[in-house]
Structure 1
Amino acid sequence: MEESLQIQRLEEAPSARNFESRIESTNFPAVFNGCVKDWKAFSKWNPSNGGLDYLQERVGLCVVEAMLSSSAPVFYGDLRSHERVPLPFSAFIGLCKQRMRHSEDGSGVCFESEQRALLEPVSEYDRKPYEDATQQIYLAQVPIINTENEERVQLESLREDIQMPVFLEDKVLASTNLWMNNAQARSSTHYDPHHNLLCIVSGCKQVVLWPPSASAMLYPMPIYGEASNHSSVPLENPDFSNYPRAQCLMEYSQKVILHAGDALFIPEGWFHQVDSDDLTIAVNFWWQSNIVSNMSEHMDAYYLRIILRRLTDKEMNRVLPKSSLAEMENKKKHTCVVLNNGGVDQNDNDLDQACERKDLKGKELEQRTMSHELEPLAIHALHELVSLVHHCVNAAELRRPVQSTSTTDSAASVKDEFTKVVRANSFSLEDDPVAKIIWALQPCTFRNVFLAMVKNFPRTLEALILHLLSPVGAEVFTCKFEEMDQQITEEDRNRFYQVFYGAFDDQFAAMDAILNGKELFALQAYKNVLDKYLGVDWGGPKPGV
């Protein structure tokens, strides 16, 4: 990512005012070194300094909800990948102590019999599933404070050991939670619907972050699912044939290492993956952002339409990138080389022969009178367009039964031939040679090419628009119309469109063909948006994704 977008590390905690104006408002992560070293928890919870005994005494036999996952050390957020099980907090502390002892004497992890002894049944907790999977247990999001649901609070007795950072003093917190693991653990890639301050009390965590704009590469779970804020890309050995966009995932990521005492601000919507070392203890604060809290519910439908429209426009712009001036100059030089080598000239035999061929309605094409005012690039583009159309027309006529004289059959045959040149459901510029030729033209050249086509090849133009225009081709046409309109006078605009549409027997059919194609292009862009950002699968391949 750009240097200006690098996650900053601050040695001193900001004031509440500076945090809100300079950090939170940017929706960009920040690390606060040593931010929580003055907490009681920082010294009293430290496992190397009797912290486990303190926690066991403080919390006692309180039962907490633990995450149990068969995929450990990776813990996926999908409910199908883990289960929540009740666990006496003292039993989990016992596991941590046992692991520390074996780690210190070099004997490795606990023996199975020792593990089971630590989880000896306590009344109704007899033979619970975690007894045979002690390294698959993770205390994730155990509530210390929960203003939204006070009944869920399980560790309120730890509240006085932590204190809210000064820069959050004006925030209305949704919850404060404990995160604790007795073995190495990795959380699946996900985002939170709240702003998050992750504070490391003991141990070390590595956090990889992606901005919301990179969510397409992360293949978010379907918006209607219970794990909609999680990525569907597996953390272990992802199959890039199923997730092709994920191949460039790390190019959009940033990585931070958090040590005991550090805190990380993770803005809402930022995807993050967290790796925790053995026996790591952390506390996090969640609060609602100003943006979300200030959104009026009765405006939701409008905001939804605005955002979907903006993402759809962005997807359409991705498919049709603007050519730089340098690229345009290179195209001109290439065309001049082609012309000088005799590839195209005003006496081109192919064009002469094309003028003698029959059009879709069996009429003779008008004799070509090429304007000497056309620049080389325009001549080259005109030649390529006419050749493509005539290739499809001639191939279609060869395939059509001799006895058939139907105009409908002829048009259908041309469409069939064009699908051999243009890939089905063409959404990509690279898949459509007609759109690619037109997209490379400057507005003035575009205007001259199609005025020349109107004058010399009107039936070719009609075949191009009515039968050979793909969705991306229609979008290209309207884009070029808009660019041209900005550079010429109103009088010239009116004259151009009068001449252009006057070449068609049915002007409204030509307009419909362009507008219908443009809407199909936008529809495919919209489907891509739903797939990329909402995980909604419309079925079938996603062109240009």
Structure 2
Amino acid sequence: MGTIGFALIAENQEENMGEVEGALRIRRFEQPPSPEDFSSLIESSNVPAVFVGVVNDWKAFSSWNPYNGGLDYLEEQVGSATVDAMLSTSAPVFYGDLRRHERVPLSFSTFITSCKMYLQHGDSLKKNFGFGEMLTDPNEAQSTLLDSPDKVYLAQVPILLLDSKERCPLENLMEDIQMPTFLKTKQMSAINLWMNKAQSRSSTHYDPHHNLLCVIAGCKQVFLWPPSASPFLQPMPIYGEASNHSSLNVDNPDLLGNTRVQNSMEDAQKVILHSGDALFIPEGWFHQVDSDDLTIAVNFWWKSVMMTNMSEHMEAYYLRRILSRMLEQEKDKMLCKSSFASLRCKQIAEISNDSPAGDDASDSVVQRDTIKGDAEQHGVILEQLEPFALLALHELISLVHNTINSSGKNQIKESHSLVALDINAEDEHMQTRRENLLLLENDPIASLFWTIEPLVLRKIFQAMVHYFPRTLEALVLHMLSPISAEVLTRKFDEMDQQTTKEQQKEFYQMFYSVFDDQHAAMDAILNGKEIFAFQAYKNVLDLYLGVNDIKIS
């Protein structure tokens, strides 16, 4: 057994903000794992992990401590270096969006001097701090830094860039850092310094690399969300400059008025890192980091095995496969999130339980489905339908006839064109109408289909072919909304799974025989299904990529 077998604490000691799936719960290790265990059991799971005290034996752990001469030591080592500091008027919250911060060249010695002053007079500096305009002049940044401790953050300052031949200004600090043993086999992309004077918060974001965040001095509180929580975190548009950042206002989130924000807090896990601790943050995991006064950290970035091995010529294929899978998941969510569907199921079940056939009603339908003769070839006689199936048939016919009587045939066609959805329409009312038509509770036909067992619905259609062919024709050609077309095709698929190939052929020949133009009937069903899928596709782009204005011509 590897070191993980002995070091893993069974119960997660980090605080979870909500109910988190067991497979995604953050684990904590009192001893560092072997390189083999880290690769096979931790990194491959793509779930964060805490390593306690893994930094304690670094020279930096004792030499960089701001409360024990560490600031003098750092100034002596790299005080002459010039670094890019993050400057922001939104401080103490630092957003990754380029419009909300700027990078200014800053003498590391000047920053260390400001840290020393803050260490001596922190409270008074906090009182004098105010939010002003961004400092675009480097000289102004240098001169006002001492009076604005909260505005400046040394974020992602390179100590070592493996992909660059240029020497990093802070490269001398590498002598004080030890590569954790379990990362020895990894090909690093970068090693960075993170240092702040006053308390600070980095906005919620994810990184395109695996990340090991090591706290050398101070304390960090990290909130983490899995990539699947993207819809709740409102990611910036994928085409933007800060596409890996959440658009939520982490300084003052609207918890009461925003359902997504409430859900995001339920999915969050909180980790507190003390000096000496390290946190593995897998690629794609959103994280928000709060840092105490005078906190110093170093992080290691490296590419995941999946991204390293992904061939460029396969990216388009993987993109389509992933989008297709997410599209199917979103379609399922659109159908299953309706509370009305559950209510309809309960109502139908109560009617079914009150029927004379009792619990054997569905079985009798299945048994009679195999009966040959006129009932199979020309349609089922009404007496063969159970009471709740007769009720569903009556409700379906009433829906069609009431629409015809109240609107007229021409207006039914117009209604159908509305159901077909002009997806390029800009009118806000039309957009609301379109979205409502894609909700199960707003569509009586779709909700009725949803509650009927596939073989029972098959019998109902057979009865309509035999007794009400024009009603069936009007239903399919003029009254199928996108969501009812989606539900209908799913019911067809379920029917096919429960019948033989010969029975399927006979049923569909019978079903489409009522239409003068069978291709028009099939187009009506497939067009509605594709419109439903397109809305699901738009939802995926909005929820996961921050794109909500896609149109097609």
| TM-score, normalized by the shorter chain, greater than 0.5 | yes
Partner secondary structure for residue 189 of structure 1: strand
Residue 548 of structure 2, aligned match among 514, 517, 537? 537
Give the distance between the partners of 2:347 and 2:495, measured in 1 at CA. 19
Distance 1:441 1:333, change over 3 A: closer
1:207 has 2:199 as partner = no
Question: TM-score, normalising length from structure 2?
Answer: 0.83
Look up the match of 2:521. Answer: 510
Query: What is the correspondence of 1:37-436 to structure 2 with a 5 Å cutoff?
Result: 37-103=56-122, 108-109=124-125, 130=145, 133-151=148-166, 153-239=168-254, 244-321=259-336, 330-336=346-352, 371-397=382-408, 408=410, 411-412=413-414, 423-425=433-435, 426-436=437-447
Deviation per residue, 1:277-326 (Å, 9 max, x gap): 111000000000000000001111111111111111111111223999x9
Check whether the contact 1:323–1:440 (CA below 8 A) recurs between aligned residues: no
State percent identity of aligned pairs.
58
Query: What's the secondary structure of 1:504's corresponding residue?
Result: coil
Deviation of the 1:408 alpha carbon:
4.9
* SS of aligned partner of 2:324: helix
Of residues 444, 447, 459 in structure 1, which corresponds to 2:458?
447
Cα pair distance change 1:329/1:298, threshold 3 Å? closer
- Residues 539 and 548 in structure 2, CA contact (< 8 A), matched pair in contact too: no
Tell me the matched-pair count.
492
User: Would the aligned equivalents of 1:187 and 1:274 in 2 still touch at CA under 8 Å?
Assistant: yes
Tell me the CA shift for residue 3 of structure 1: 3.4
1:15 paired to 2:34: yes
Cα 1:249–1:409, aligned 2, differ >3 Å: closer, same or farther?
closer
Give how far 1:228 is off.
0.4
State whether residues 355 and 386 of structure 2, in contact with CA within 8 Å, keep that contact through their aligned partners in structure 1.
Answer: no
Q: Which residue, out of 526, 534, 539, partners 1:528?
A: 539
Report deviation, 1:19: 0.2
Q: Is the 8 A contact 2:149 2:198 kept in 1?
A: no
Q: CA contact under 8 A between 2:114 and 2:145: conserved in structure 1?
A: no
1:489 corresponds in structure 2 to: 500
1:403 corresponds in structure 2 to none
Indicate conservation of the 8 Å contact 2:158/2:193, yes or no.
yes
Structure 1 residues 532, 473: CA separation in 2 closer, same or farther (over 3 Å shift)?
A: same
Summarize deviations over 1:487-545 as a string: whole Å, max 9, x none: 011111111101111111211110010011111111111111111111112169xxxxx
Task: Say which SS state the counterpart of residue 336 (structure 2) adopts.
Answer: coil
The C-alpha deviation readout for 1:323-349, integer Å capped at 9, x for no partner, is 99x999844442247879xxxxxxxxx
Report the TM-score when normalising by structure 1: 0.84
In 2: Cα distance, 1:110 partner to 1:318 partner: 48
Aligned-pair distance for 1:99? Answer: 1.4
Change (3 A) 1:520 1:111: closer
Alpha-carbon distance in structure 2 between the residues aligned to 1:328 and 1:112: 63
Residue 356 of structure 1 is matched in structure 2 by none
Matched-pair contact (CA < 8 Å) for 1:98–1:110: no
Q: Identify if the C-alpha distance between structure 1 residues 153 and 431 changes in structure 2 by more than 3 Å, giving closer, same or farther.
A: farther
For 2:257 and 2:127, the matched residues in 1 are separated by 40
Give the AA of the match of 2:98.
L
- Structure 2: segments with no counterpart, 5+ residues: 1-19, 130-136, 357-378, 422-428
- Residues 130 and 380 (structure 1 numbering): CA distance in 2 closer, same or farther, change over 3 Å? farther
- Measured after TM superposition, the shift of residue 208 of structure 1 is 0.6
Note closer, same or farther for the CA distance 1:322–1:495 as it changes in structure 2 (3 Å cut): farther
Distance 1:285 1:126, change over 3 A: closer
Measure the CA separation in 1 of the matches of 2:167 and 2:439. Answer: 51
Contact 1:415 1:468 in 2 (8 A): no
Aligned residue identity for 1:317: D
Q: Secondary structure at the match of 1:228?
A: coil
- 2-side partners of 1:446 and 1:129: how far apart? 75
* Change beyond 3 A, Cα 1:329–1:436: closer
Unpaired segments ≥5 residues, structure 1: 114-120, 341-367, 398-406, 541-545
| 536 and 322 in structure 1: CA distance in 2 versus 1, 3 angstrom threshold | closer
Separation in structure 2 between the aligned mates of residue 290 and residue 428 of structure 1, nearest angstrom: 41
> Match of 1:273, SS?
strand
Q: How has the CA–CA distance of structure 1 residues 156 and 416 changed in structure 2, closer, same or farther, with 3 Å as cutoff?
A: closer
CA distance in 2 between counterparts of 1:444 and 1:152 reads 72
Aligned to 1:320, what secondary structure does the other structure show?
Answer: helix
SS of 2:160's partner is strand
C-alpha change, 1:446 and 1:67, in structure 2 (3 Å) is: same
Shift of 1:108: 3.6
Give the Cα–Cα distance (whole angstroms) in 2 for the partners of residues 415 and 135 of structure 1: 58
Distance in 2, Cα, partners of 1:252 & 1:258 = 20
**2:416, 2:480 within 8 Å by CA — same for their partners in 1?**
no
CA contact 2:203–2:288 (8 Å) conserved in 1: yes
* 1:443, distance to aligned residue in structure 2 (A): 1.2
Output the CA distance in 1 between the equivalents of 2:508 and 2:488: 13
Alignment counterpart, residue 36 of structure 1, candidates 52, 55, 58: 55
Q: Contact 1:10–1:32 at 8 Å: present in 2 too?
A: yes
Q: Is the 8 A contact 1:217 1:246 kept in 2?
A: yes
Partner of 2:468: 457
Distance apart, 1:445 and its partner CA: 1.1
TM-superposed CA distance for 1:234, in Å, is: 1.1
User: Which one of 10, 16, 22 corresponds to residue 3 of structure 1?
Assistant: 22
Counterpart-to-counterpart distance in 1, 2:235 and 2:518: 45
Query: Residue 549 of structure 2 aligns to a residue in which SS?
Result: coil
Give SS of 1:151's match.
coil
